[in-house]
Chains A and B, each alone.
Chain A
Amino acid sequence: MTDGRYGKHGGQYIPEILMNAIIELEKSYNYYKNDPGFNNELTALLKDYAGRPSLLYYAKNMTEDLGGAKIYLKREDLNHTGSHKINNVLGQILLAKKMGKKRVIAETGAGQHGVATATVAALMGLECEIFMGLEDTGRQALNVFRMELLGAKVHAVTSGTQTLKDAVNETLREWATRVDDTHYVMGSVMGPHPFPMIVRDFQSIIGKEVKEQILELEGRLPDAAIACVGGGSNAMGLFYDFIKEPSVELIGCEAAGSGIDTGYHAATIAKGQLGIFHGMKSYFCQDEHGQIAPVYSISAGLDYPGIGPEHAYLHDTHRAKYVPVTDAEAIHAFEYLSKTEGIIPAIESSHAVAYALKLAPELSSEKIIVICLSGRGDKDVAAIAKYMGVNINE
């Protein structure tokens, strides 16, 4: 495979104005990824600041209740800032510092990536601006305030569908306006090369740790690895080290919203077509004229009409499978994990838990499933209460 291509997917479909910036980024990354000083610094930050390695927790109550496969949870929710996003952000902002950048910008959906970016920018003394769809600033108001507390400026994006896709559009526009001193901290395994590669590499620590931890605990690899997929960064991070292990089934859970046949969903693999958008060739939810479709999910973090190009490739080659999970199933899983294990998962991660609730009982007790619990659910409590018709008057 050539650089930046995953089969037919990937590439660098962006305006000329940004080309030198991404070429410079690729060169810097290729240099620093082999630089022992950079790697030592990053490893220390991941350990001492983010709290890695994250736990691999045996969900005993859940396993016994479902009566099938043994279930482990990869506890990315316990990282500093409450999600896997910090893994990528620490890497990218450290790289941006080395490149002499003074300012970082980022898109965010649920706010997890925005909070992680604002956090690390505060730590490293960089200016930070976050772009978030107006609709998402409403359903994730707590995260907006967190970002502001951390010193970031949050822009509510009012164009288009006012969600994650539009936040990416606006961040690209801002990058084109001020590129020389600014790094765009891409939040997922998407966008033009080298972003899908860089984000995957920084997130691949998830799967590497799982591999070590499960070998230690069980003496063997899991039978299935399950993660939610919007752009797909936590899934790619979990999957990457297992791609070359054919005994491990890789399962990505897409947001099916109200159902994939209702028109209100963000299920890119189930319903999307090949296209070119946001710098990459991949699958996108779009109409027959190539207009990007409005998508819907209760989860702001999965409410995106595309999927990272490497996922598109894993789908084409049948190495991974992608399954749709509805809002209702995710909310059920959110409540289930809270009550069964005393862990409140992010509504995004609840999509992966929901599929495990279906899969585990079908498997024998000899089998092992690992679910990536990509984030914690505190941010979602108000929205879930609203969905259930409870007035909590925060």
Chain B
Amino acid sequence: MSKIEAAFAKGKAFIGFLTAGDPTLEKTEEFILSMTEAGADLIEIGIPFSDPIAEGEVIQRANVRALSVNTTLDRIFGMVKGIRLKTQIPIVFLTYLNPVFTYGYDHFFRECGSSGVDGVIIPDIPYEEKGELTPFSEKYGIDMISLIAPTSRERIEKIAGSAQGYIYCVSSMGVTGVRNEIKTDLSSILSDIRAATNVPTAVGFGISTPEQAAQISTYADGIIVGSAIVKIIEKYGNDAAKHLYEYVFSMKKAMA
């Protein structure tokens, strides 16, 4: 069983997202350890990019902060190696394609493998272009996480059919960010996915409260929280660790 599969095998998974290097890589490592201690089952690490087209304002600002302190892929791989000395929690990178392309596909996935990254999400690579990367992700045993959106409809079958790790199910139209209400008929999308694959599903985009976590985890295998976590980091900066612990603990408790 892969580490990602194991994370979903022990119950509903809480997936926490944060941007690497916001406010510094040292702090990112501390925040990841704090969320892990609070019960997070998997961590998504955002690789900062100049033009994150799928992100709302909160994560856009985190990208700006991270890039302002020279957060590069090499340094992020170094941070992951450090984390691996302390915890084996599954780690997934969320990155736009251009930094990966520039780093070199083989080089990138090789470093993922040797530093201990378990999966990669690339929002700007749809099913049709995925073949450009899979020879490399397969060579180094890294899961390519697929996204399914409210607009995917008849595409669900083929996307789910080749999915690895987990399926990132986008809850709502638009970009990342906290939402008061999620209007998409998630249960019907999730049942279409379930018909095509046994790969677990995690719902993201707009989830911030324990109530939402409790509700969505009744039909999904996990939830992904990004902007709400990044907002805490934005608010408390270097002192965010204990606030992150409390937040993740409350979310995880609501999902039990």
Chain B residues with Cβ below 8 Å from A30 are: none
Contact A15:B149 (CB < 8 A) given known A177-B175, A291-B49: yes
Say whether B73 contacts A289, CB under 8 Å: yes
Distance of A177 Cα from B200 Cα, bound (Å): 26
Query: Does B211 sit at the interface, judged by CB under 8 A?
Result: no
Say whether B126 contacts A19, CB under 8 Å: yes
A-B contact pairs, 15 of them (CB 8 A): A12-B126, A16-B152, A16-B170, A17-B147, A19-B126, A19-B152, A166-B51, A169-B51, A173-B54, A176-B174, A177-B174, A274-B101, A275-B98, A276-B98, A290-B100
Interface residues, chain B, CB within 8 Å of chain A?
A: 49-51, 53-54, 56-57, 60, 67, 72-73, 97-103, 123-129, 146-153, 155, 159, 170, 173-175
Query: Does A141 sit at the interface, judged by CB under 8 A?
Result: no
Chain A interface mostly: mixed
The chain B residue with its CB closest to the CB of A21 is B151
Query: Does A172 sit at the interface, judged by CB under 8 A?
Result: yes
Say whether A289 contacts B102, CB under 8 Å: yes
For residues 147 through 182 of chain A, which have their beta carbon under 8 Å from a beta carbon of chain B?
159-160, 165-166, 169, 172-173, 176-180
Say whether B151 contacts A292, CB under 8 Å: no
Query: Does A309 sit at the interface, judged by CB under 8 A?
Result: no
Contact A273:B102 (CB < 8 A) given known A12-B126, A15-B124, A20-B152: yes
Knowing that A160-B50, A169-B51, A276-B101 are A-B contacts, what are 13 other residue pairs whose CB atoms are under 8 Å apart, sorted by A's residue number?
A13-B125, A14-B124, A15-B123, A16-B149, A16-B151, A16-B152, A159-B57, A165-B51, A177-B173, A276-B97, A276-B124, A289-B73, A290-B98
Contact A292:B98 (CB < 8 A) given known A15-B124, A178-B173: yes
Chain A residues with Cβ below 8 Å from B150 are: 17
Distance of A19 Cα from B158 Cα, bound (Å): 13
Q: Distance (Å) between the CB of A54 and the closest chain B CB?
A: 35
Q: Distance (Å) between the CB of B99 and the closest chain A CB?
A: 4
Say whether A13 contacts B124, CB under 8 Å: yes
Chain A residues with Cβ below 8 Å from B149 are: 15-17
The chain A residue with its CB closest to the CB of B150 is A17
Chain A residues with Cβ below 8 Å from B128 are: 12, 19
For residues 262 through 292 of chain A, which have their beta carbon under 8 Å from a beta carbon of chain B?
273-279, 284, 286, 288-292
Query: Does A11 sit at the interface, judged by CB under 8 A?
Result: yes
Interface residues, chain A, CB within 8 Å of chain B?
A: 11-21, 159-160, 165-166, 169, 172-173, 176-180, 273-279, 284, 286, 288-292
Say whether A16 contacts B127, CB under 8 Å: yes
Distance of A292 Cα from B63 Cα, bound (Å): 13
Chain A residues with Cβ below 8 Å from B51 are: 160, 165-166, 169, 277, 292
Q: Distance (Å) between the CB of B60 and the closest chain A CB?
A: 6
Q: Distance (Å) between the CB of A151 and the closest chain B CB?
A: 25
Chain A residues with Cβ below 8 Å from B60 are: 159
Chain A residues with Cβ below 8 Å from B54 are: 15, 17, 173, 176
Distance of A14 Cα from B129 Cα, bound (Å): 9
Say whether A15 contacts B97, CB under 8 Å: no
Contact A275:B101 (CB < 8 A) given known A19-B126, A178-B173, A291-B50: yes
